[in-house]
Amino acid sequence: MPVVEQVGLAEAAALAERGLVGGVVVIGTPDEGIVEAVAGLQDASTTASLVIAVDEEGGTVQRLDGLLGRLPSAHGLTELEPRQVQVVVADRAAAMADLGFTMNLAPVLDVGAGPGIGSRSFGDEPGVVTTYGRAFAEGVREGGLVPVVKHFPGHGRADADSHDDLPVTPPLEEMEAFDLLPWRGLPDGVAVMVGHLDVPGLTDGMPASLSPAAVDGLLRGELGFDGVVVTDDLAMGAVEEVATMPKAAVLALAAGADLLITGGVDDVIPVAWEVVTALDDGRLATARLDEAVERVFALRGVDPCTLVG
């Protein structure tokens, strides 16, 4: 999924015609033309319905306030009762669906307001984050969109902003009793975004997004999550410290991610070629790629049998 502004959706459509994208992440400040632009992208896709995602958390991270009005931050929403939050978010999600969006990259389940998070977190207590995060996620689902909870395994107490550097979190044994609590028993119908976080005792200096121990081991194994796993944007500074975009994409797929947010449209073809090369040289197993494709097609409501001519 490349990251594009509204004007870039036409460029993404050219990739969709070649079957090279599973969707897009829309940034910037969309205007009334977003409906027509998204429809044009969907019409261009040769692999049926695409994921149309946006970061609509509220507060400092929202793209659609010019069209839908302002949404309070996660921290601001805690002034309401959880049920009220669910209703407010459900109305917002329904309006987003009317614009053509299918996925909201929210809510944030990070416990704490560390660098890069701030008011994006519901608070400093795991119980508050769990209650309000799930109310937000359920509202997104009620409104007809897929909620993506983030940033696993927990960015709230990390020491840096992953947009710039690779953050280090508290050790895994400390996170088990605190940061990981909102991630236990996730409801059906949500996807999980894995953050670019170095977790001592788990990731060995790698971002969690590229770590089999974090994704396949902790998230899927210990916590039992079987839904779609999404990476945070692989163009961020935290990943650049470790690997180039194409190689990072292969590492993320091999670690257990299903859907990759891959910078801009210019990154899509290099990533695709790196995946092909990795299949040939054994860095990526065909079965792992098949698993990712199956999950993403299911998320998109696509029967792959209908794509075979």
Annotation marks residue 232 as catalytic:
yes
* Among 171, 150, 147, CA closest to 159: 171
Cα–Cα distance for residue pair 285/237, rounded to 1 Å: 27
| Spatial distance between the Cα atoms of 63 and 283, rounded to a whole number of angstroms | 37
- Mention every residue, 6+ apart, whose C-beta is less than 8 A from residue 112: 121, 124, 156, 157, 179
User: How close are the terminal C-alpha atoms of the chain, in Å?
Assistant: 25
280, 275, 278: which is closest to 293 by C-alpha? Answer: 275
DSSP bridge pairs for 109: none
Contacts of 252 (CB under 8 A, 6+ apart): 209, 210, 231, 234, 260
Strands 23-26 and 3-4: parallel
- Catalytic option among 55, 232, 233, 267: 232
**CB-based contact 96:143 (threshold 8 Å):** yes
Cα(268)–Cα(253) distance, integer angstroms: 14
The closest of 206, 211, 126 to 167, measured between CA atoms, is 206
Given the residues 91, 163, 164, 216, the one annotated as active site: 163
Query: Residue 58 and residue 55: Cα distance in Å, rounded?
Result: 9
Number of H helices, E strands in the chain: 12, 9
210/204 Cα distance (integer angstroms): 11
Query: Are 51 and 103 a contacting pair, CB within 8 Å?
Result: yes
Active-site residue numbers? Answer: 163, 232
